[in-house]
Amino acid sequence: MSTATMNAVPTLRAENVSIRFGGVQALDSVTLEARPGEITALIGPNGAGKSTMLGCISGTLAQNQGTIMIGDKDVSKSSAQRRAALNMARTFQSPQLVTELTVREHVVLARRAGAEVKSGKFMTSVRFVLALIPFISRGISKAELAEADALIDELGLGKDRDKGPSDLTLGQRRLLEVALCLATGAEIMLFDEPSAGLDRAETEHLGQLIQKLASERNITVVLVEHDLELVFSISSRVFVLDFGKLIDSGTPAEMRASKAVQTAYLGTTEDE
């Protein structure tokens, strides 16, 4: 890890985040820090609370305790919309796509969303009114299509650009989710198991893409992933959750060697 990155101002910080679903303590005082230009991975066995943590960070779940900071802004009580306006985007473990839109239209929408949420509510209202006026309302231009196509090609969805989500495989749908995230131009991106359903070559390509994104555009990436090979090959820091608690954190090399991590994934023997 370079000194420059180590000293970077934290862009995203979740502190002592706790959330309870009925009798289940899904997250128990979890603290996590993700820095610009780095990929911060969140790993753990099934049911550890990884996706719940992403939900709390992105605002789709409301934590019972704890604070979420984006830079110096406390967004703990902000809506998902407000966080999106602060340059945060995310993917979902179960793809949240629109049956009525093609791959291209999804990407165009996400590009426009990225541009417009930053322009504020007033401009959104103006857009709403303009949309009612024929000829002024914006259909999808050729330039927008070309820009969307470049991103779609980069993710290997080129030959499916005119298909809807129901015509895509689960892996392709996850890639489209990643494309939506990238198209918004967000500065903080949360990826929830993006490689599930992809083959080895596709996973490696995706890993390279995320790595390039983080380093070249100085993006803050939080990656929830089951594929530990991918995690250890592209992450700068790894946080490990088990039963809603943070059991360890450190560099990929440190986490590879961590006893706590091995125990969480593999369990313990009676001798131990």
Partner 1 sequence: MLSFAIAGLAVGALYAMSAMALVITYNASRVFNFAQGGMAFFLAYCFYYMGNSDTGLGWNLWLSAAIVVLIIGPLLGLFLWWMLLGKLGNLAPLTKVGVMIGLQVALVAITTLIFGHDPVYLVYGPVGEPNVIFSVFDVNVSNEQFIIIVTAAIVALGGYWVLNRTMAGLVTRGSVDSELMTVLTGTNPKFVVASTWAIGTGIAGLAGLMVLPKVGLSPGGFANLIAASMAGAVIGKFTHLWRAFFGALVLGVTQEVLVLYLPSDGLLGTALRPSLPFLFMVVAVLVYSQQKDVKADSQKVEVAAVNNAYEVSLSKYLNIMRNPKGHWDRYVGYAVLVVVLVGIPILFNEYWTGLLAVGFCYTVIFLSYRLVTGEAGIISLSQISFAGIGVIAAAYVVNHDTWFGAANETPVLLAMLIGGIVAGITGTVVGLLCLNLGPLYAAIVTFAFALLVDQAVYTRDEFSNFGSGLPFGRPEIFGMNFDTPKTFYWFGAVVMFIVMFVLWSLRRSTTGLVFATIRASRVRAATLGFDIYIARVGVFALGAAVAGIGGTMVASFQLVAFPNGFVMTIGLVWFALAVAQGTSSMGGLAAGGMTLLLAPAIFSEFLPERLADLPVLLFGLVAINMVVDPIGINPNLRAQFRHLAIKMSGGTVHSPSFEEESETKLPAGV
Choose between 70 and 255: whose C-beta lies nearer to partner 1.
70
Stretch 162-191: interaction string toward partner 1, x if CB under 8 A: xxx-xx-xx---------x---x-------
224 burial (CB, 10 Å; 0-12 / 13-18 / 19+) is buried
Stretch 91-110: interaction string toward partner 1, x if CB under 8 A: -xxx-xxxxxxx--x--xxx
Residues 134-153 touching partner 1, rule: CB under 8 A, are: 134-135, 137-140
What φ, ψ does residue 215 adopt, rounded to 5°? -80, -45
Question: Which of 1, 6, 24, 62 touches partner 1 by CB under 8 A?
Answer: 62
CB of 4 to partner 1, least distance (A): 31
Residue showing tokens 């980069």: 154
Asked if 24 touches partner 1 (CB under 8 A), the answer is: no
Question: Taking Cα atoms as reference points, which of 89, 63, 86, 87 lies closest to residue 76?
Answer: 63
Return left, alpha or beta for 172; rule: phi > 0 is left, psi -120 to 50 is alpha, else beta. alpha
| DSSP 3-state of 121 | helix
CB of 249 to partner 1, least distance (A): 26
CB of 145 to partner 1, least distance (A): 13
Residue 185: which residues within 8 A CB-CB, separation 6 or more? 87, 111, 114, 115
CB of 25 to partner 1, least distance (A): 17
Choose between 40 and 172: whose C-beta lies nearer to partner 1.
172
Residue showing tokens 């999106």: 84
Kindly state the number of chain residues that form the binding site for partner 1, as judged by CB under 8 A. 58
CB of 195 to partner 1, least distance (A): 16
Question: Which of 6, 130, 253, 260 touches partner 1 by CB under 8 A?
Answer: 130
Binding site for partner 1 (CB under 8 A): 55, 58-62, 79-81, 83-85, 88-90, 92-94, 96-102, 105, 108-110, 112-114, 116-117, 121, 124-125, 127-128, 130-135, 137-140, 162-164, 166-167, 169-170, 180, 184
